[in-house]
Amino acid sequence: MALPPAPRVAPIVPSQPEKPRKGSFLRGLGLGSGFGLGLGATAIVGGLVATLVVVGLGVAAAAGGSTGTAANLTTVWGAGAKTLRAIPIQGAIMADGSDGGLLSGGTYGYEIADQLDALTVDDSSGVVLLVNTPGGSISGSKAIADAIERYQERTEQKVLVHVSSMSASGGVYATAPADEIVSDHGTLIGSIGVIMGPFYHYKDATGLTGNLLESGVTTTGGVTSEYLTAGTGKDFGNPFRAITEAERAHYQAGIDVEYAKFVDHVSTHRDIPSQTIIDEFGAFMFDPDTAKANGLIDEVLGRDEFFRHAAEAAGLDPADTRVEMLSVPTGWESLLGISADRVPGYAPPVDQGPG
């Protein structure tokens, strides 16, 4: 079911495709629509919607999890002998590469999960997740959260999170099981909610116009829209008719189910009463100090302070610790195939240039 373009989120990170996996709900990218954990924001052409994405050109490439070797690991902090593994979660969180767009940047949840599942105690002394995300799909966010728990149980090592700009909705869900969640100064944390849409209804429309940058409705000429369907509600989302009350009730019930799961997940892992999340937090975003007071994060530290703290939390001497992550090619290197290796977990971004 094809719908008009929705609000879009600017890409923030690097390259990746996929392993074909299906979530428990309809896809939010590509040809489907589904419930999403995200914060709506407007951005660039061909981008993806943090909450629900309707337009997608899948970019597929060779995938596969990887723990990284000396050849493809980059040191991002420190110069010691002991190591921590950094894994970025940046841009919209998608399930896998089939959710990606040609000009979209983001994170593939199942491939991040593969990285965590492949790590052993010999690879590093712990994991730090570097987060800057407006949220994303339920399946992608849950894949990361589940993998964090598996890693903790398997290795008995800690997983710490550092939020650099934003951790909204799916970001909160994905990182809730971490041992500690630390935020940088001036960030936004929260948006515990589920959204589906937007769905447009063109009342009394007489014409359509659009281009690569935007779609719209004009009043010149006439337009007829018709679907041949079988099955009640098959043309749900048709912008030339209103949503029926039965459709509204049906999909709202699904949203309510996913919201209850989301609230329970955060409540369990962050030790916050469910009713507090529902009645007081809602889907609002919070500054770091308020987020800490609410129990959504544990501390507010800059990046350097965080890495030192993470080393100490892992039982290491910060002076003898370095933080490593998989090398990620630039957006154009990935797009043009200049870089031979794709780093598992990351979708191709667009190099926006200055400004």
**CATH number of the domain enclosing 190:** 3.90.226.10
Q: Are 147 and 177 in contact (CB under 8 A)?
A: no
* Model confidence pLDDT, tens digit, residues 139-185: 999 999 999 999 999 999 999 999 999 999 999 999 999 999 999 99
The total of structural domains in the chain comes to: 1
Per the structure, the complete domain to which residue 291 belongs is given by 36-60+73-196+252-347
With respect to residue 240, please indicate whether it lies within any of the assigned structural domains.
no
Is residue 274 predicted with pLDDT exceeding 90?
A: yes
Domain membership of residue 30 (yes or no) is: no
pLDDT at residue 226, rounded to an integer: 81
Q: Partners of 107 in the beta sheet?
A: 93, 346
* 165 inside domain: yes
Q: Confirm whether 108 is domain-assigned.
A: yes
Alpha carbon 333 to its chain's center: 22
Instruction: Determine, yes or no, domain membership for 203.
Output: no
**What integer pLDDT is reported at residue 9 of this predicted model?**
35
Q: Do strands 135-137 and 36-38 pair parallel, antiparallel, or not at all (unpaired)? A: antiparallel
> If we measure between CA atoms, which residue out of 92, 155, 122, 102 comes closest to residue 112?
92
Residue 317 lies in a domain: yes
pLDDT band at 343 (very low <50, low <70, confident <90, very high): low
What is the C-alpha to C-alpha distance for residues 191 and 167, in angstroms, rounded to an integer? 9
Tell me whether residue 68 is in a domain: no
Q: Is the N-terminal amide bond of 134 cis, ω within 30° of 0?
A: no
Contact 121, 155 (CB under 8 A): yes
pLDDT-wise least confident of 230-239, 254-263, 335-344? 335-344
Can you give the pTM of this predicted structure? 0.77
Selection from 26, 228, 33, 16 nearest residue 108 by Cα: 16
Q: Distances in Å between the alpha carbon of 41 and those of 12, 47, 215, 269, 290? A: 13, 11, 17, 28, 22
Cα–Cα distance between 118 and 337 in angstroms, integer?
Answer: 26
